[in-house]
Amino acid sequence: MEYYVPLPRRLAEDLRNSPVAIGAYCLITRLYRISRAPVPLSPGDLQCLDPSLSYGAATRALRRLADSPYVLVERVRGRKNSYAPAWGAVSGAVLPWDLGAPCLGRPRHIAELRLDQRLFDTCLGHVRTHAEHPAIVERYVAQPLLGLEEVGAYGAALAGVAPAGGRLVELGLLDHCGRPLREIGARRSVSERMGVRPQEQIAQVIAQARARGDVRDLAGWVVSALHELPESQPVGPPRPKASDRAILMHPELTHAERSRWLTRFRNADATARSAVLERFIKEHPHEQFV
């Protein structure tokens, strides 16, 4: 069983300045593999799936795809346009997917990226489109955890061309250099609880996770930690701004240790620095900082 959405690497590179278009392509490929037929889709359908998306942004994304060699558009008067995914232009002609062929008919010279389909199923929801009526969306959460723009940015990150920062970094799906983590790590029961958590709680557990050197699947640790939080746990007051003075002034550190801890501290964002500092003091206790 395959749990990923195929994405041509060249598409992610060509449309890097239009992450909504990349996200829309991934949605089309996800639905195309389910229905095995061209996907009827309108800007309004994209808005149903992602309420934060404006009609203009959704229209531009579909138009950008239609003008590219990565989809075949079937236009029927009085109905929505239908879209079928393609691998791009090969010998001057658009090469559509072949569901009956190995690797969906992808030539060897076209590199494929694999986007985890749980970004849709868990973080956005399931969508059923219709040629004449608005799409029907079903979710495990009250509000989507991500938007199509974030899904597209994650696809661009797989190609190494993602913009730095943003919601994906906040949720622990990308690091500060725009590199994706290997696993999404969100289960249905966990994501349902995560969707109703205050943003302050999410930021707090992500900060704690970033300070742990033994955690590889950071996103999985974050949602698991949120799952364990009591429903009534209040959000504490914001911590004072962390300073690197304890690292700079520690009398027992070697040069290499001091450099390593300063790099870790300064590369962390404001919400994570306090947790990094707490870990430093725990591993290198000294009466001056107790």
Does a structural domain hold residue 32?
yes
Distance (Å, rounded) from C-alpha 204 to C-alpha 207? 5
* pLDDT tens for the 290 residues of the chain, in order: 457 889 999 999 899 889 999 999 999 999 999 899 999 999 999 999 998 889 999 999 999 999 999 999 999 888 899 999 999 999 889 999 998 898 899 998 888 888 888 788 877 888 899 988 988 888 877 778 788 988 888 888 888 876 665 667 666 666 655 566 544 444 445 445 555 566 666 666 666 665 655 554 555 555 555 555 555 555 455 556 677 888 888 888 888 888 888 888 887 766 677 778 888 888 888 766 55
Q: Are residues 44 and 124 in the same domain?
A: yes
Q: Are residues 56 and 155 in the same domain?
A: yes
Residues ≥6 apart with Cβ < 8 Å to 146: 119, 123, 124, 167, 168, 171
Q: Are residues 193 and 149 in the same domain?
A: no
Q: Are residues 206 and 281 in the same domain?
A: no
Residues ≥6 apart with Cβ < 8 Å to 28: 39, 41, 65, 71, 83, 84, 85
Total number of domains constituting the chain: 3
pTM of the predicted model as reported, rounded to 2 decimal places:
0.61
Q: Are residues 113 and 55 in the same domain?
A: yes
Q: Are residues 153 and 250 in the same domain?
A: no
Distance (Å, rounded) from C-alpha 146 to C-alpha 148? 7
- Digit-coded pLDDT (tens) for 220-240: 555 555 555 555 555 455 556
The one-letter amino acid code at 77 reads: R
Q: What is the pLDDT of residue 154?
A: 86
Does a structural domain hold residue 16?
yes
Where among 130, 163, 196 does a domain terminate? Answer: 163
